[in-house]
Structure 1
């Protein structure tokens, strides 16, 4: 397929990824576009797995300013205040968008939107749907809307390269052929699948990010990998772990040790709770989540999806303690973008988890991810609309396709050397494995960015915690390109 051009789509904007960010971008585009993904059912997207819901200041006594303050506090000094303000102010409108698209957000007994409380939020502000199946319900309804828009063309394939000579996108390679285009939106998710213990889809291993970096795009703050405190411990540690939503702790569930004692504040920021659990596990203790006595309705009624996962593992959350451990959950770093979603390559936008917008800083506030995906997907689509008529001539022949590999045998090593608690020695061991492979292996390139950035941030900030270098340095972003690595 080296010389095969998909001429039907020549010049059309291409969106890579069919999660919430990609679908929202597609809905915004006012002309024909190509939506490229391996599946169009929501399967394999992190959006579908989101349990808690979407954060937005829509409750009584709440405000976008309060939401912004909580976000900045969780972000540990690395959030972009202007972006935080802009996105949190867009929160109420994002809720209206979900309702307009037919998403059945939960209501209370008075008919008002029901709101969860999650860690580090000062108000109940998480809108949700389907109990603890928020992401699945949201995506199902938005997929229905995108299928009604006849200008969206679905191409079930994968991205295999970005052609960007002189830092300007001129086309993309897919497994189905080459598409000449000068407008590409990456909405392809994160890199949690690089880790042994993860709540992310295992296919999400940062491949698209690596392709953008190979094309010359800048990445930012790659070291900030958020571990969710409460993934369900099961005998099978090779599969994706089941998440126990933060909303469970918001509803009153408590963390206990094997002797029944509590050892941390359940609603502290995620990085704090994850480190507290990791410290206990390191000492050989077992950590449990206790949801047996939630006020109001029982666990199984309030969280049916989580209950199903627990029972599949032979556990009854209404009567038993649930063994938990932290697991890689969300990547705050990613492709450096501006407030419209533009990367450092002309013609390449990014939104959702693959992007680093400045909203999350060093530690994402719970349920801000769906908000960011929805809002930033819209912004990227609108920016493409504003610039797609200023394109130059399209390529008429296929350039040389790059070659690479994507096998990844180092999930356990990633967990060991680049986990919650880090040291220079462990990071250097990891980079000895990955740097020699990073020119040809896309997973190794993304993993090397994370390891290299972690090595060059000798401080304890948010989700990045160097045990050998306690304390904080002045806040700074760490921007990297492929040629910054010693490859």
Structure 2
């Protein structure tokens, strides 16, 4: 029998994207930090983010305008305090990234001065998107990884899955650590911590078609729910309007910045369609554009629509969108001459674990940062380039709050090691694969861009059956990466469907044919778990 291993730290951060690494760097001068990364530390949604980060740098722009645009995109469900909190701290957060060396694009101003090149995306009334060509996330992630690796107080655990958060037996609203699965040794270990932070990203892998990397399986949301945290607005799943449609390019995103620079959406016959759906045409918010593409595809029986920027000069296209140009070129598509085939795909979870403006959840010493969290910033639809911004702003806020509380929680409460004496190795991995594909397919068909009451009820029945199967499987066999992710995805699917059933209206990203109009007044859909029992 393998000896149990226990690690200790002041703060355990589960997740290694922009949110988790920014928080770790803010904390590291004050305490010992462990950063848990499910895969290689560079892997995650941040790395693949193309467009950029919204912040007011132009003298003709204003924080009030950024706030107003975000509130408008959020379809009446943003919490204004959270929006203003984020927008007012955006420039400071970007200057912090710049100090670490993130190479945002620059240009010469009208008076010959050097300034940051700002682009514009859907929903924004001004140019306010800082970017590093069309690979902003890669620039942010690699810069933060280098800084984290260099800090002696940050300890990186790569290829570790978090299994569950461990609640204190003495103080039920407090956590004492987490059980984690070491994928390198295929063994469960324990990490004890005074504070914990979830930075695990979203849950778009619950859908068959997604722009997200494989690690986006809703782990943090599911773990927080099992531990007793409230979640909110899980029905608002953002489908990015334009993912590349090609059999050799699964989940490759075509950034919204193309439309910001003049790209046009067209039917297969070359005609435009967005002006018929919204006066802002291609620059309408993502929910409107995604529904328009979905409608045209279904109306025409087409496999995809097309995004065309070929009317712009070729050197402009190659300079501003080198990653997209190279990727499409490798697949035989020359975007300087041809339109890009695109389809919507699940992209972002606007809901998540409920937090306050300090990033603290409803548990005493648990924080949630980034896409895993519901802060109130996004409402019923996230505006482009507010996501990485939220990661950094709330990572700083959460770290500051933890630092102010470092003298709290000195408990030496012992944690029982993981018990796998009653389980065996699985000889039925095919069951996991079958359930995995079934879940993602019916979530796409029943809980996708357009929903109905009947589809939602059908999805919930299927989820309940899968939950029974997975619980039985989890109880009898040793954990594996696929089993842990499937267990979390099914839990998140249930939360999405329950929130969607609760909302008796269409608003933002949630469109139900049985309730096609918004109702007033409207607020967030909050779910509270039943009293928690020990795992």
Assess same fold via TM > 0.5.
yes
Q: 2:518 aligns with which of 472, 476, 485?
A: 472
1: CA distance between counterparts of 2:488 and 2:32? 30
Say if 2:301 is the partner of 1:299. no
The equivalent position to 1:432 in structure 2, one of 461, 473, 492, is 461
1:309-348 to structure 2, matched below 5 A, reads: 309-348=327-366
Q: Distance in 1 between matches of 2:266 and 2:57?
A: 33
Q: How many residues end up aligned between the 2 structures?
A: 478
Gaps of 5+ in 2: 183-188, 275-280, 472-486
The corresponding residue for 2:404 is 386
TM-score of the superposed pair, with normalisation by structure 1: 0.94
From 242, 255, 263, give the equivalent of 1:253: 263
Equivalence for 2:447: 418
1:267 maps to 2:313: no
Q: CA separation in 1, counterparts of 2:406 and 2:329?
A: 51
Greater Cα offset, 29-38 or 292-301 = 292-301
Identify if the C-alpha distance between structure 1 residues 424 and 243 changes in structure 2 by more than 3 Å, giving closer, same or farther. Answer: same
Contact 2:241 2:289 (C-alpha < 8 Å) held by counterparts: yes
**5 Å matches for 1:224-239?**
224-235=236-247
Aligned: 1:278 with 2:278: no
Distance 1:2 1:65 in 2: 58
RMSD: 2.0
Deviation at 1:142, TM superposition (A): 1.5
Larger radius of gyration, structure 1 or 2?
2
> Aligned pair 1:154/2:156, yes or no?
yes
Alignment of 1:36-115 (within 5 A): 36-43=36-43, 45-110=44-109, 111-115=114-118
Q: Is the 8 A contact 2:179 2:418 kept in 1?
A: no
The answer to whether the Cα contact below 8 Å between 2:190 and 2:418 also exists between their aligned partners in 1 is no
Aligned to 1:465, what secondary structure does the other structure show? coil
For structure 1, the 5+ residue unaligned runs are: none
Is residue 377 of structure 2 the alignment partner of residue 359 of structure 1? yes
Shifted more, 159-168 versus 65-74: the winner is 159-168
Partner of 2:389: 371
Give how far 1:305 is off. Answer: 0.6
Call closer, same or farther: CA 1:357–1:406 in 2, change over 3 Å.
Answer: farther
TM-score (norm 2): 0.86
- The SS at the match of 1:158 is strand
Q: CA deviation at 1:39?
A: 3.4
Q: Distance in 1 between matches of 2:399 and 2:264?
A: 42
Corresponding residue for residue 502 of structure 2? 456
Aligned to 1:144: 146
Q: Residue in 1 aligned with 2:176?
A: 170
Q: 1:193 aligns with which of 180, 193, 205?
A: 205
Superimposed CA distance per residue, residues 163-207 of structure 1 (whole angstroms, 9 cap, x where no aligned partner): 124131111101141112231000011011111111011221112
Larger mean Cα displacement after TM superposition, 471-480 or 439-448: 439-448
Question: For each residue in 1:199-252, what CA deviation from the matched residue of structure 2 results, as whole angstroms up to 9, or x when unmatched?
Answer: 01122111221111111111111100001111111125xx74211100000011
In 1: Cα distance, 2:121 partner to 2:393 partner: 21
Residue 208 of structure 1: aligned partner: 220
Q: Partners of 2:176 and 2:362 in 1: how far apart? A: 14
- Go from structure 1 to structure 2 and tell me whether the alpha carbon gap of 1:97 and 1:198 turns closer, same or farther (over 3 Å shift): same
Q: Is the 8 A contact 1:298 1:318 kept in 2?
A: no
Q: Tell me how far apart the structure 2 counterparts of residues 204 and 37 of structure 1 sit (CA, whole Å).
A: 12
- Say which is worse superposed, 299-308 or 430-439, in terms of deviation: 430-439
